[in-house]
Amino acid sequence: MKRASLIGVGIGQGPADWQIIQRRLDNSADIPLAGTWLAPGDRLGKVEVRLVDETRQCPVTGNLDWSDADSNPNHTWRHVIENVPAGGPYRLETRLRLDDDPWRLAGDQIHYLGVGDLWIIAGDDNALGFGRGFVDDPPELGVHLFRLSERWELASHPLHDSTAIRDGNFFSPGSAGHSPWLSFARRLRKATGLPIGLIPAAREASPLEVWHNRKKTGNPPALANLLHLVHLASSLHDFSKFSLHDGAIQKLEKPKEPPGPVAGCVWYQGEADCRREGWARSYGTGFREFVERLRNGLAAPCLPLVVCQLNRVVGVARAGEANLWGLVREAQRAAGHDLDYLAVVPTLDAALSDGIHNSASGNLLIGERAANSALGLVYGKDAAWRFPDFHDAWLEEGRRDRAIVEFSHISGELRPVAGEMPAFGIADAQGGAPIRKIKLIGKNRIWIQVNRELGEKPVISLCAGHNPVIALVDDNNCPPLAFSGIAIRED
């Protein structure tokens, strides 16, 4: 039975249950509504609307208590709840007031709304989430999810659930499991007090070319699908038109102030690009183009991105691919220096549940680090959001067999794991130079001696292979970002 045929108030346009509405820069949002009303007989009615705190069962503010909507004699109504403060969960209530009658007739309600921030989840398998193993990572009210069924719900694992999927482009034949992003969102909510809405748009086994489409016009398929999903998740049910109960179409005003831009995007991708040398070597260029297209598509030129550098792979890399993993990791690390509003998160010490997918416990570690990056980059919080990274390397004065490497963004000081640091590599135009001796000097420098004098164009790498040993961490037990083929200064 259609709601418009029942006595009371029906909501035909507006947000959905569990929806998180992106706040504006003034930390508020407007909520447009439209619908139908019906009174017994031919009596005239007036639609009233209010917004209630779901936990305290009272109006959110005095200004958001019962207010008259614009009720029309043709049994339609519309209203915009203006300046709703960031927060939630909220309940939107409607009722119908009849002339000379103290009673109010029932109206539709929308439950567990939030005004906060939307975060996109993009990338491939490890963005989608295939983690296995026991972890304590429960749902939390105020952390909601726009599922592939295109319905808002309370966020719970697996986030990438193909049940009732609407767009086959996001279908994953693999059995999705745990991902980093529920713990990521919970951490953001705890630190900011804002409801967080997650929009999963990752694609299993997707190389970068389906996200950036270099040398072609138009958006590539994965990015086009992402933008479509973000539009659906952030819309208020196409407020440009509203179908009345009698089949007529009434044009309605759009909100005075549109929702703010999406808060950010978390990105974990690159394994497929380590399968082909051309893809690995062009990863940096392709990734920059993807970021540009994503930001243009969302009309958000300053959209923040939190990028996860690739973890290791065990037993599934083919011969000749080991160095390609280093190339992709280096391109990801370099993006943190070359692109604005972008942070890079190390993952090399995260546990695996198989040869290539991060385990549930590993995902918790990644989620925590990604949240720290978001809190510092986006929210200006005092968090350790930059991670140990290469800063400089030079030959020791008067020696061509010794180099010094300096790191930045160290928490406390660097220290070796198990007393060894075997993950460095030094080479020149002649090839690799075996390392003879290596030691820490100071809090953030490494001294390295090789067994021969270095020739032209010396370079240094850290964790450049497909399955490197993690042997260097700071006081937060965090390893430096991997790097590959960085020039050693010779002056």
Give 315-350 pLDDT, tens digit per residue. Answer: 766 767 889 999 999 999 999 999 999 999 999 999
Residue 160 and residue 163: Cα distance in Å, rounded? 9
Residue 217 and residue 219: Cα distance in Å, rounded? 7
Residue 68 and residue 107: Cα distance in Å, rounded? 13
Per-residue pLDDT averaged across 68-80, rounded?
90
User: What percentage of the chain reaches a pLDDT higher than 70?
Assistant: 92
Q: Please count the residues of the chain.
A: 491
Secondary structure (DSSP) of 104-162: EEEEEEEEEEEEEEEEEEEESHHHH--B-S-------TTEEEE-TTS-EEE--S-SS--
> Kindly report the CA angle at 113 between 109 and 117, in degrees rounded to 5?
160
Q: How do strand 104-123 and strand 196-200 relate by DSSP bridges?
A: parallel
Secondary structure (DSSP) of 7-69: SEEEEEESPPTTPEEEP-TTSEEEEEEEEEEE-STT--EEEEEEEEETTTTEESSGGGSSEE-
Show me where the domains of the chain are located: 3-113, 115-377, 389-487
| Same fold yes or no, 3-113 and 389-487 | yes
Kindly state the DSSP code that residue 326 receives in the 8-state scheme.
H
Kindly state the DSSP code that residue 100 receives in the 8-state scheme.
T
Question: 60: burial class by Cβ within 10 Å (0-12, 13-18, 19+)?
Answer: buried
Is the pLDDT confidence value at 289 over 90? yes
In the prediction, which pLDDT does 249 show? 43
CATH topology classification for 389-487: Immunoglobulin-like (2.60.40)
Identity of the residue numbered 79: H
Which contiguous run of DSSP H or E holds residue 473? strand 472-473
273, 282 contact by CB (below 8 A)? no
Candidate from 175-179, 302-306, 454-458 with smallest mean pLDDT: 175-179
338: which 2 tokens?
Answer: 């070359």
Which of 194, 131, 195 has the alpha carbon at shortest distance from 160? 131
Of residues 218 and 229, more confidently modeled: 229
Question: What is the number of helices (H) and of strands (E) in the chain?
Answer: 8, 28
Question: 474: burial class by Cβ within 10 Å (0-12, 13-18, 19+)?
Answer: buried
205, 272 contact by CB (below 8 A)? yes
Is the pLDDT confidence value at 33 over 70? yes
> Kindly report the CA angle at 486 between 469 and 448, in degrees rounded to 5?
60
In the prediction, which pLDDT does 140 show? 98
pLDDT digits (tens, 9 = 90+) for 353-369: 999 999 999 999 999 99
pLDDT digits (tens, 9 = 90+) for 434-482: 999 999 999 999 999 999 999 999 999 999 999 998 889 999 999 999 9
Q: Which of 248-276 are b and which e, b meaning 16 or more Cβ less than 10 Å from the residue's Cβ? A: eeeebeeeeeebbbbbbbbbbbbbbbbee
In the prediction, which pLDDT does 42 show? 78
459-462 sheet: strands from edge to edge: 431-432, 424-428, 459-462, 483-487
In the prediction, which pLDDT does 423 show? 86
Task: Report whether CATH 2.70.98.10 matches the domain 115-377.
Answer: no
Q: How do strand 445-450 and strand 402-408 relate by DSSP bridges?
A: antiparallel
CATH topology classification for 3-113: Immunoglobulin-like (2.60.40)
In the prediction, which pLDDT does 132 show? 95
